[in-house]
Amino acid sequence: MPGMTTTNHNRPATIEWVGDAASGHLRLIDQTKLPGALEYLDCQDVGSVWHAIKRLSVRGAPAIGVSAAYGCVIGAQAGTFGESADYLATSRPTAVNLFWAIDRMKGLGTADPARLLDEAKAIHAEDAAMCDAIGRNAMRLIKEGGGVLTHCNAGALATAGIGTATAPMYTAHDAGRKFRVYADETRPLLQGARLTAWELQQAGIDVTLICDNMAASVMREGKIDVVITGADRIARNGDAANKIGTYNLAVLARHHGIPFYIAAPTSTFDLACPSGADIPIEQREPAEVQTAMGHPLAPADVKVYNPAFDVTPAELITAIITEKGVIEPVTEDAVRGMVG
């Protein structure tokens, strides 16, 4: 495909800047079209970046942050850097990387597109390097012949690199280790089915898709040795918000004596947030639950409760793997020691 770039493992680039600082634009994989079609969005104005984040064409906390940084450059091109940065911050409320990246761009104290583009590219490169570091730090969790359960997509599609929760999978696979990944489908938007299963298959990793309500059974059957998920915001005490259904897995893992890990960069920690009770949880449209890929699943007028995320308490998390090292046990002091 013309203009397409690739990253490691022959994957198409999730996020790409095309052109120069004066007139360039952001190119994203439209993840709402996967796995049926690999299509791209060319975002040439701030509104298109905002909508890409809001409608989940780009998703995953690190990828949202990188995209917002490039969105700030596009705002500066139009002479509206400050307003654009504030507008982008309204796209989604839970993923702290969004606000971290925008604050970093604002912190430069300039509206020069060239300077802002340099910073956005630095954020992009740092995110890819962070993924590699998480992969090295967490590779030990994946044993030869073992089974790994993951939820939603904290993979290459959610970052600028090899993912967070998937980073040890790619690293172990590259080292020749044989293992199995079980990917939860992740209702209601099926990110595990549409995205994680797709990208792991593309990389040649042994992946099996399961329905969300099968997790307890595959644990009881001895198929799972470790659970690894990502996170969208981690509070000061170690409570972690991630895609709805993650809390379920942590409870099930504890019951079955299976270690439960979170893989996330230090930019996902929010030290100003005391606990998970203080994390804002995004509420999404009822239609996401009432329908599937445009097909009705429920009465159109039925009441729907559709939180996008839940919070896993720190006491259920065996450890948090970051690019700087491993937080274990997960306590406020340990979080501050690693992040603060």
Cis bond before residue 313 (omega within 30° of 0)? no
Whether the CB-CB separation of 43 and 188 falls below 8 Å is answered with no
Q: Determine the straight-line distance between the first and last CA of the chain, rounded to whole angstroms.
A: 43
Show the DSSP H helices in 33-112 as ranges: 46-54, 61-77, 81-88, 96-106
- Residue 88 corresponds to which amino acid? L
Cα–chain-centroid distance for residue 92? Answer: 13
Whether the CB-CB separation of 34 and 237 falls below 8 Å is answered with no
Whether the CB-CB separation of 256 and 320 falls below 8 Å is answered with no
Cα–chain-centroid distance for residue 19? Answer: 26
Options 127, 232, 239, 310, the catalytic residue: 232
Compute φ and ψ for 156, nearest 5 degrees: -60, -30
Angle, CA 167 vertex, CA 165 and CA 169 arms, to 5°: 90
Angle, CA 105 vertex, CA 103 and CA 109 arms, to 5°: 100
Q: Residue 23: CB partners within 8 Å, gap ≥ 6?
A: 77
Q: Distance between CA atoms of 211 and 227, rounded to whole angstroms?
A: 15
Task: Let me know if 45 is a catalytic residue.
Answer: no
Q: Distance between CA atoms of 324 and 336, rounded to whole angstroms?
A: 12
Specify the DSSP class assigned to residue 80: -
Specify the DSSP class assigned to residue 13: P
Whether the CB-CB separation of 247 and 319 falls below 8 Å is answered with no
Residues classed as catalytic: 232
